[in-house]
Each structure stands twice: as structure tokens, then as C-alpha cells.
Amino acid sequence: MNRPGESSTELLLTRPGVQRVPSDKIELFQLRDFANAELCGKLIELIEKDRRPSTLADAGDDHYFRTSETCDLDADLPAVRELESLLSALNGIDPAYGEPLQGQRYDVGQEFKPHCDYFNRGGQDWDKYCSVAGQRTWTFMIYLNEVKAGGATRFKAVKKTFQPETGKLVCWNNMRPDGRENPNTLHHGMKVRKGVKYVITKWYREKEWGW
């Protein structure tokens, strides 16, 4: 039985169209046409309206590690509620265990260098970010548009690269079966070469979101 903040391979694969990357290193999936173009357009408008420079939990000396812009999306907005409902129906995770939806915007030359979504144990912000809701479990990412060039997401450990497609969802389990963090989830939001990339990210936690 799944813990409340987790989905499962078995559940996800019951959804027609879900494809799993064939690897025992990571639970990694894609689903095309998860969100329709109209919903994606509404979410892009919200990101454009309230975007701000992206930040990092454990920021190092590389000031160009994450150069995108971010938008914290209001849970009461109709487009946000619609996407949350779609995610809940897909992954079976209690919404109480999810972080608020976040949008990202990548202009030409912007990227998010190779990183994992889980928090580093012993890192400077471990207590700040994990004391209440625990570690991140699953990541669900939705591309909101196609990009003229660049902007792919690359998982080096399994040699898999996802190209942005309007409404396509990519998701993965940040943890191993024994509960340890999985370093094979290292992924790179590659530089946009032409155009602008918009994505939505939803992270889930081990415990209820209590911020």
C-alpha cells in the first residue's frame, strides 16, 4: 500500500497513454496530451503576470545554476484548480501532501543545470524546508508549450531526453524503494536556444504540507 505522499508505477500505468522509461534505475514516466491547449494557455498567462527570478534552496557560488523565472500559482484560481484535479486523478496522492503549483519561464539562454529535486540531507536549508513536510517524494512536470529550439529535459543516468510538447507530462519518483533519495533522478533543464519555454511543476512530500 502506498504511503499518503506517494504514487506508484502500478497506478500510473493504469492510465492509457502513460509510458515508463525502461530502466530499473528510476521510476520515470511520460504522458502526452495530459493538459489541453486551452488550459496550458491560461497557465502561461498566469506565469507571465506574476513571474519573478527563480531561487534555490541550497544556493552555491554558481549564480547561473538556475536562471529561469518562477511564478507561485494561487490555488483558488480556476485554471490552477483544474490542473490540480487532473493531477489528483492521475497520481492518487492526497492533495494535502502537495506543494503549491509552481510555474517556470525560460527565455533564450536560460536553464536549470543538472540537479535533483529532493533536498540534501545536512544542507544549509534541510531543517527549514523538511522539518514540517519532510522530503520530496514525487515530481510531476507539465510542458505548457513547444519551444522553437532547445529547452529539453535530460536525465543523464538513463540517457533519456524529453522534448517540450504542449500539455505533455513527465513525472518521476525521487526516492528509492527503501526510502533513500535516488541520485539517478539527476536532470538538466537544458538551455532554450530559440523561443520561450513554460512549464508547471508539482512536488509532493512525505508529510502534509504545513506551511
Q: Has residue 45 got a pLDDT over 90?
A: yes
* CATH code 2.60.120.620 for 9-205: yes
Residues above pLDDT 90, as percent of the chain: 76
Q: Which residues lie below 8 Å from residue 85, measured CB to CB, with a gap of 6+?
A: none
- Name the band, by pLDDT with cuts 50, 70 and 90, for residue 1: low
In angstroms, the first-to-last Cα distance of the chain is: 27
Task: Classify residue 174 by burial, with Cβ atoms within 10 Å: 0-12, 13-18, 19+.
Answer: buried
Would you say how long the chain is, in residues? 211
| Backbone phi and psi for residue 160, each to the nearest 5 degrees, phi listed first | -125, 130
Q: Has residue 11 got a pLDDT over 70?
A: yes
Q: Has residue 48 got a pLDDT over 90?
A: yes
Side-chain half-sphere CA neighbours of 110 within 13 A: 17
Residues above pLDDT 70, as percent of the chain: 92
Q: What is the mean pLDDT of residues 69-79?
A: 94
Compute the 3-state secondary structure of the chain and give helix, strand, coil in percent, each to the nearest 5.
20, 30, 50
- Name the band, by pLDDT with cuts 50, 70 and 90, for residue 55: low
Q: Has residue 61 got a pLDDT over 60?
A: no
Residue with the three cell numbers 519573478: 52
Q: Has residue 64 got a pLDDT over 90?
A: no
Q: Has residue 59 got a pLDDT over 50?
A: no
Question: pTM of the full predicted structure?
Answer: 0.92
| Backbone phi and psi for residue 194, each to the nearest 5 degrees, phi listed first | -155, 130
Return the domain boundaries, the chain. 9-205
Contact 53, 65 (CB under 8 A): no
pLDDT in tens, 90-142: 999 999 999 999 999 999 998 888 999 998 887 767 887 888 899 999 999 99
